[in-house]
Every structure is written in structure tokens, then in C-alpha cells.
Amino acid sequence: MTTTSDRLPAAGADQAATGPTKPTPRVDVHGLSEQLLGRWPEWRRHARARSADPVFWKDESLSMAEHRERVLEQMRRLATEDEKHQVWLAFPERLGGGDAPGANLAGFEELVVADPSLQIKAGVQWGLFSSAILHLGTPDQQDRLLPGAMDLSVPGAFAMTEIGHGSDVASIGTTATYDPDTEEFVIHTPFRAAWKDYLGNAAAHATAATVFAQLITNGVNHGVHCFYVPVRDPETMEFLPGVSGEDDGLKGGLRGVDNGRLAFDHVRVPRTDLLARYGAVAADGTYSSPIDSPGRRFFTMLGSLVQGRVSLDGAASTASKLGLAIAVRYAAERRQFTSSSPVDETVLLDYATHRRRLFPRIAETYATHFAHDRLLDLFDDVFSGAKDTPENREDLETTAAALKATSTTFVLETLQECRVACGGAGFITSNRITSLHHDMDVYATFEGDNTVLLQLVAKRLVGDYAKELKGATSTPAGLARFVVDQAADAALHRTGLRRAGQAIVDAGDPRRAAGHLRDADTQRELLADRVATIVEDVAMALRPAQKADPATAARIFDENQVQLVEAAKAHADLLRWSAFTDALEQVADPGTRRVLTWLRDVFGLTLIERNLAWYLVNGRLSAQRARTVTSYVDRLLDRLRPHAVDLVDAWGYGPDHLRAVIASGVEAERQEEARAYYARQRADGSAPVSEKSLKKKRG
């Protein structure tokens, strides 16, 4: 693969050289691309090859109904014509799968390159419907129910979300009441707010569903459990007796997914169709579970379905790469305004404003990629059984929530910035950016609303802090030490002593301030300190709620809810920065490592710049260092200018993946044609004289 310097001028190359310049490092694009393939390169390559096949591409000309049928046919190809059966990787080998959960997700995420609707509909079938059977069913139930789900002879819906409760799954209204006389569960929707909604496959294609309902037996509600429920006659595709539904209709994106609603009017299913891994009912109605605590049982069942959040984090990262690759390639060719030359217009990437809008997002996308690789490793450790411990499961749930919430917000902001950076061309559907934005929009609210997920993360952080605090203050000596540490922290950070120390060290020299800021330990300290401080402040503010009445406790929580979310965001930032920093150690090529280090510094310092007010108010940075952050980031962006195209090329997406006209090289051809036209006019003297030049001569 060629590098940027083989194709493009460096920043300011339109200007005459004024003297010798330092040699710049080169990015080994092929080597970096190989590293970014991660732990399962074979499966990523295979999935990318499928996504480059036109038969799987999104066709923007189709109606909603036509798009739905096209995606269903694409899924049948994935299930029956793919000789490697990539979509079956997560399932047991005894059923034709691969027992390879990490490899499965590594490939599944790449389907977003072909068509986000295909990725989501495939995710519904094999990542939700089938996975509910796999993770919540017994081995006998798996053997009976999984084959049809795997080969798509039984298209399925995942019926968890209800109109009235959304992310509050524990409070869903659908009931499953056991009838010992017939050994059946009666599935019932008692009111309109309990209708299952936004369900992929429900509007047209599903013949069965995994339905989540409150399990009631012998007059006792044992909480939410999952049931396998047939919903349509596979021959006529008509709803079965007692089942009703509606089509959600046209949506803002993902038109190839047939989202719909389902309701149940005393629908009976056999006792054996309660997916019984974590809770079973005997013939006489006696309930039993290997997990005694109802709360822990509920979170264990939901935690076993965490792969949806993991896969959305990866898909959001991929979509960010697509948008940035299109925008950067266009900006490397598009020229606008004569600035450095009286005759040649300037390449967009040579403008500081353009570098500012795109390069920090390239840096953040790399950070998101490396953090996702860590998440995939953790996911595989847990679900392969290699390191399936309660601690790892808890870490997986928290990390998946933090990263999914962060990346699915970031991708929407990034695609919008890419759209604007491409001007009117970015608004044209054939250049894909607007289409990707529409399809990715719902990623911010499904598989857990992002704000709710961040509160989940913050709850874990505050809970861990409370445990440490309880241990540290359990003795008089520990309590005294805690009070002293608190006083010392206040004296150092909140009275200006730390800022004064930084000012003395920097001695007014911006270069010294920049030297401290580019130090990895300094960046880590600043990012980690922000997490720790916000968590501590929120934890201390919430302590009175522990002994308060419910109304007072709710008020205290509400007063601190925004800060809880800030703590989770800061934690996600630290996770991504740490993953990026660790990944630098794996880069063998010196030039590539140097460029990626600049990129990591851009990410870290942009995070600090984004929260500069906090660092100043809380005494973590002096005014000198605060002023230096922005200027040093701009210097780094200038250094990265010659490497911009290499950095997006290393993501490994070629023309058949991007499928955007403005990223195809056609803009360079247009620009060269225009430049040649004006050059010929200047050479043969046929160029008209400008009015402005005539006025100058007369003056």
C-alpha cells in the first residue's frame, strides 16, 4: 500500500521551500493495518470481504418494504451460503458453531460497512433471539430450539422492551402466570403500556420470539424471566391465536429492519418453554433457581446478554472510521480559496480549522478502537469460559456500558462534523455520510439508553469508592488518616498551592509547560485525578441518602445525577486513553509509533482542553499550563498533517467499503483539470485581465 507522502504534498507544500526541514517519520500503513485487525484477523478479513461484495450493499433506491426483503435475503445468504458460517461462531460446536464468542463479534461488527440494517437485523436474529436461547436456556432447550434460529428457518424477535418502561426492564408489565392443571404458562399483556415495542423482525418476518415477562407461580412473582413463544404460522405468516402486532412503520434510519410491536392475550406455552438456566418451575408450580437472590438473578440474566452492547461499541467505532476516511480523503484533494499562492487554491487539510475539526476525531477513533479491543478480550474471556468469574462479569458489564454509551454518542457527533466538513458534497446520499448518520442515530438509545448506562457505570464507581472508604475508616486511626488526607487535598488543590508550584516550575516558559503536558504520566494523572475527584465528591454528597426517607433520598440523588454522569464519562475517557497508551507498546515500527504517540497526545490533551474549566477551578492546572494546552494541540495537529490519509488508510477500508464518490479520487481529477485549464490560459496569454489588477495599474 502506498503512503500519504507518495500521493500528497505535505502541509504548505504549495509554498516555496524556505530552508531545510527536519525529516518526518513515516507511517507503516500495512503494518499498522495488520495490528488493528486485532486478535481475530482471519474473521475480520472474511467479514470485510463479505461487506465488499455488492450483493450485501445497501441500496438507497429501495422502498422500505423492498429494503426489508433485501436484508432478509442477505441474511439467508449469511446463514446458508457462507462456507465458513461466520454468523454461527458464538454457538456450540455440537450444533455446528465455533464456541468462539470473541471471533463472532469481531466479524459481526464489520457488517455495518455493508449496510447497518443488515448488521442490526443479523444482531436481532443471532445476537439477541438466538443468544437468549443459548445463554438463558438449558442444554436440552438449546438442542431443541437453536438449530432453527441458527439456520434462519425460524426468524425470531427479541421481545424485552415495552412501550411504558424502555430501559427499566425490571418493571415490565407482561406476565407469565403458571397453570399447574395444564403445565403451561399464560403469557399476557395486561395494558397498552406493556406492549412489546421496537422489536426487530416483529413487523413482518418473525415466527417466534423470546418474550420477557414477570414469572408468577403459586401467587408469587419471581421477577423477569424469558420464554420461547411462537408468534406466527410459518406457512401463512399470520399471527397465531392470542398474538397481535403492529408495524412501527417508517423510521429515521435502519429501514431494512422490520421493527414492530407485539401483544399477547392469554397465550399459552408449555412449561418446558421457560428458558430455565437461571429459574425453573416444576410440574406442581414449585419455583427453583441456582441463584437465591432475586436481584442478583435478574442482573445475571441480563448480564448474559451483554454482547449487544459490546457489538454496538464496535459498530460505532467502525462507522466513525468510515465517515472520517471519506472526509479526510476528500479534504486531501479538495481545494478552496487562494491563500498561500496567487494562482493555486489551498487544499482543505492545509487549513488549521479543518485539521481541528477532523484530526482530534481521528485520534479519538483510534482510542475507541483500542479500548474496544480490550472489551472484546474481556468479553471472550467471560463467554468462552476461560476466565468466567463474578468479578470479570461485573467488569465486563461496567466497561461495556461505559464504552457503548461513549462511542455511540461520539459517532453521531463525528458523522455530523464529517458531513459539514465535506460541504454540500457531504449532504449527497451517494457519499454515505448522511445515510450512516441516520442509521446510527438509534444506537444511542437501544441496548440501553446512553444516559441510563452512564448512571449504571457511575453507580459501580461510587459503590467501589464506598467500599474502600468503609474499610479505610473502620478504625479510629483510619478515620483520622482519612480526615488528614482530605485536609491535605484541599490545601494542595483548592488554595492554589499546586497551581503556584506549576507556575514556578514552568517559570513562564510555554515550552516547559508543553513538556509537562506531553508527558504520558502527566496526562494519566490529570485524567485519573478527575475521575477520582468527581467520584469522591459525588459519593460524599450521596452518603446522607443511605439513612434518609425515600423522598429525601430521591431528592439527594436527583441533585447529584448530572455529576454522576460526568464521573462515568471521565471514567470512559480514562479507559480509552489507557488502552491507546498500552497499544503504543505493541507498535514495532519507530516511525509509526512516533506518529501514534502524537495522536495519543492529541487525544489526551483534547480531553483536558474539553474540561479545562474543571482543571482550573479545582486547582489542577496553572494558568500558564492551561493556556499551553490549546497551542500545543494545534502544534501536534500541524505535525500530523502529512500523515492524515495514512492514518485513515490503516483502518483497512478500500473503495468497495467506503463507496463514496468524493473518496474515490474523482475530486483530485476535477481539481487537476481545473488547474491545468488555468495554467494553459496563463501560458498562452488568453486569460482575461481582472478588474482589480487594472485598477492597481491605474492607481
User: For the residues 294-323, what does the mean pLDDT come to?
Assistant: 93
Is residue 501's pLDDT more than 60? no
pLDDT score recorded for residue 4: 42
Q: In the structure grid, which three cell numbers stand for residue 123, read together?
A: 444482531
Q: Cβ contacts of residue 236 below 8 Å, gap of 6+?
A: none
Catalytic residue among 447, 585, 669, 673: 447
447 in catalytic set = yes
Q: Cβ contacts of residue 620 below 8 Å, gap of 6+?
A: 493, 498, 526, 529, 530, 614
Is residue 592's pLDDT more than 70? yes
Q: Nearest 5°: CA angle at 447, between 43 and 289? A: 95
pLDDT tens-digit profile of 361-404?
999 999 999 999 999 999 999 999 999 999 999 999 999 999 99
Whole-angstrom Cα distance, residue 656 to residue 400? Answer: 30
Calculate the dihedral angle through the C-alpha atoms of 574, 578, 579, 582, rounding to the nearest 10 degrees: 180
Whole-angstrom Cα distance, residue 5 to residue 18? Answer: 19
Range scoring the smallest mean pLDDT among 9-18, 189-198, 403-412, 502-511: 9-18
DSSP 454-506: HHHHHHHHHHHHHHHHHHHTSSHHHHHHHHHHHHHHHHHHSSSHHHHHHHHHH
User: For the residues 324-328, what does the mean pLDDT come to?
Assistant: 98
Q: How far is CA 216 from CA 222, 272, 273, 288, 647, in A?
A: 6, 15, 15, 12, 56
Q: How far is CA 289 from CA 295, 306, 574, in A?
A: 12, 21, 38
pLDDT tens-digit profile of 139-181?
999 999 999 999 999 999 999 999 998 888 999 999 999 999 9
pLDDT tens-digit profile of 438-451?
999 999 998 889 99
Instruction: Report residue 239's pLDDT band, with 50, 70 and 90 as the boundaries.
Output: very high
Q: Of 572, 579, 575, which is closest to residue 450 (Cα–Cα)?
A: 572
Pairing of strands 267-270, 184-188: antiparallel
CB 569 within 8 A of CB 531: no
pLDDT score recorded for residue 470: 63
pLDDT score recorded for residue 477: 54
Is residue 236's pLDDT more than 80? yes
Range scoring the smallest mean pLDDT among 307-311, 348-352, 370-374, 466-470: 466-470
Backbone angles phi, psi at 631, to 5 degrees: -65, -35
Instruction: Report residue 65's pLDDT band, with 50, 70 and 90 as the boundaries.
Output: very high
Backbone angles phi, psi at 606, to 5 degrees: -65, -40
Q: Cβ contacts of residue 619 below 8 Å, gap of 6+?
A: 492, 493, 494, 495, 496, 497, 498, 499
CB 242 within 8 A of CB 267: yes
Instruction: Report residue 682's pLDDT band, with 50, 70 and 90 as the boundaries.
Output: confident
pLDDT tens-digit profile of 623-657?
888 889 999 999 999 999 999 999 999 999 999 99
Alpha helices in 8-151 (DSSP H): 29-36, 41-51, 64-80, 101-108, 111-114, 116-122, 130-136, 139-150
pLDDT more than 70, % of the chain: 90
What is the three-class DSSP state of 132? helix
**Environment class of residue 33 by beta-carbon count within 10 Å: exposed (0-12), middle (13-18) or buried (19+)?**
middle
pLDDT score recorded for residue 5: 39
User: For the residues 20-47, what does the mean pLDDT come to?
Assistant: 90
- Per the prediction, the chain carries an average pLDDT of 90
Is residue 8's pLDDT more than 90? no
Instruction: Report residue 83's pLDDT band, with 50, 70 and 90 as the boundaries.
Output: confident
CB 330 within 8 A of CB 440: no
Q: What is the pTM of this model?
A: 0.90
**Using the 8-state DSSP alphabet, how is residue 191 labeled?**
S
pLDDT tens-digit profile of 203-219?
999 999 999 999 999 99
Amino acid identity of residue 320, one-letter, is S
If one compares 4 and 143, the residue with the highest pLDDT of the two is 143
DSSP 64-105: HHHHHHHHHHHHHHHHHT-TT-GGGTTS-GGGT--S-HHHHH
pLDDT score recorded for residue 9: 39
Instruction: Please name each of the domains of the chain with its CATH number.
Output: 156-293 (2.40.110.10), 450-649 (1.20.140.10)
| Polymer length of the chain | 699
